[in-house]
Amino acid sequence: MAGNTFGQAFRITTAGESHGPGNTVIIDGCPAGLPLSVDDLIPDLQRRKPGQSKVTTQRKEDDQPEILSGVFEGKTTGTSIAILIRNQDQRSRDYGNISELYRPGHADYTFDAKYGFRDYRGGGRSSARETNVRVAAGAVAKKLLKITHDIEIVGYVKQIGDIVANIVDPEAVTLDEVEANIVRCPDNAAAEKMIALIEQMRREEDSIGGVSELIATNVPAGWGEPVFDKLKADLGKAMFSLPAVTGVEYGEGFGVATLKGSENNDIFINEGDKITTKTNRHGGMLGGISSGLPIVLRCAIKPTSSLSKAQSTVNRQGEPSEIKTKGRHDPCLLPRFAPMGEAMMAIVLADHMLRQSVARVDL
């Protein structure tokens, strides 16, 4: 199976399945000398883990990471970092009835079409369970970015269903504001409505989608490669590689479709001793290269595909059937998405930070 590695200078490779013994990530390219311990990984893993609140899946996983290599006496050695997170609460029996059925919205049919065989327990390799080790790798990238450039990355829920948060200044949102409620929306009034909607979806044996916004501040100007490896392109691929992401936009995104050029262009100004722009409709990237302004991304997240209500489907022989998914699933994926999106953004930025270090010679 190809496609398990992401990044160039800062590169991650993951392995594992939803109901296997655990998930593993290998991180290549992290410089030596970065202070790192398990304690650095736990906060984001706690934000991602299942069973954390009444609006998430009730699967119980501690998600305690083990650093197997690449760290000695509290610092990275410059060699590959291996991190393992063991699974504890698999209930594979919940999936026995769907071994021959295709769940609507899932990768069951496409896996069979590609390999002729699949791990039907919780989706196997296509399960979002795999993202726990991405979040662990993202925590390493976040610390590297923070120590070297004071970069902060914050993700939050902007919309669930038709409930849209009123975020006056997205670039000023803090992690404390995001973590103030279980839905991770910095607009507390909207958060209460979102929680009520998610609980309604659970009662109706249904699910709901939404939008997550991600902001990276203090990213220097000049990161990103101008053609195929544009910063926006790598961020787009990173986000689309996450389960359930069906759309990605940055800056004004699809809003530019109704603007004139004179309305959309951000005017350059000299602010003190640096060049910047009055506004940030470009979302912190011009020509695929960072401009020095905050990077602003939004991801559209589809409703959870696994439903306990009956749905029509077919089996592997193409015969009509009915399916109910017995497993424990999130009625809305948004509350747990923020740390996943933050992790992938951090991995991309760490990669381009290291690539930028060899992009020029200042004489």
Tell whether 127 is covered by a domain: yes
Confidence of residue 58 (pLDDT cuts 50, 70, 90): low
Tell whether 361 is covered by a domain: no
To the nearest whole number, what is the mean pLDDT of the chain? Answer: 92
Question: Which residues span the domain enclosing 63?
Answer: 5-356
Return the exposure string of 112-138: e unless at least 16 CB atoms fall within 10 Å of the residue's CB, then b: eeeeeebbbbbbbbbbbbbbbbbbbbb
- State the average pLDDT over residues 274-289: 96
CA distance 222 to 258: 29
CA angle 286, 290, 295 (to 5 degrees): 95
Predicted local confidence at residue 49, as pLDDT? 81
Task: Answer yes or no: is pLDDT of 48 > 70.
Answer: yes
Lowest mean pLDDT, pick from 9-18, 52-61, 113-122, 240-249 = 52-61
Tell whether 55 is covered by a domain: yes
Classify residue 302 as exposed, middle or buried by CB count within 10 Å of its CB (0-12, 13-18, 19+). Answer: middle
Task: Answer yes or no: is pLDDT of 324 > 90.
Answer: no
- State the average pLDDT over residues 37-52: 89
Please state at what angle helix 131-149 crosses helix 38-48, rounded to 10 degrees. 130
Predicted local confidence at residue 345, as pLDDT? 98
CA distance 192 to 313: 35
Confidence of residue 60 (pLDDT cuts 50, 70, 90): low
Give the C-alpha distances (Å, rounded to integers) separating 306 from 57, 145, 202, 205, 325.
Answer: 11, 36, 12, 10, 6
Which residues sit opposite 313 in a β-bridge?
321
Structure tokens at 212: 């997550």
Task: Answer yes or no: is pLDDT of 165 > 70.
Answer: yes
Tell whether 217 is covered by a domain: yes
pLDDT (tens digit per residue) in 303-319: 998 888 889 999 988 99
Predicted local confidence at residue 94, as pLDDT? 54
Please state at what angle helix 131-149 crosses helix 334-356, rounded to 10 degrees. 50
The CATH number linked to 327 is 3.60.150.10
Predicted local confidence at residue 52, as pLDDT? 66
> What's the number of domains the chain is made of?
1
Tell whether 362 is covered by a domain: no
Predicted local confidence at residue 185, as pLDDT? 97
Confidence of residue 107 (pLDDT cuts 50, 70, 90): confident
- The CA dihedral of 216, 219, 225, 231, to the nearest 10 degrees, is 10
Name the more confident of 274 and 190.
190
Confidence of residue 358 (pLDDT cuts 50, 70, 90): very high
Task: Answer yes or no: is pLDDT of 213 > 90.
Answer: yes
**129: nearest Cα among 279, 233, 15, 36:** 15
Tell whether 363 is covered by a domain: no
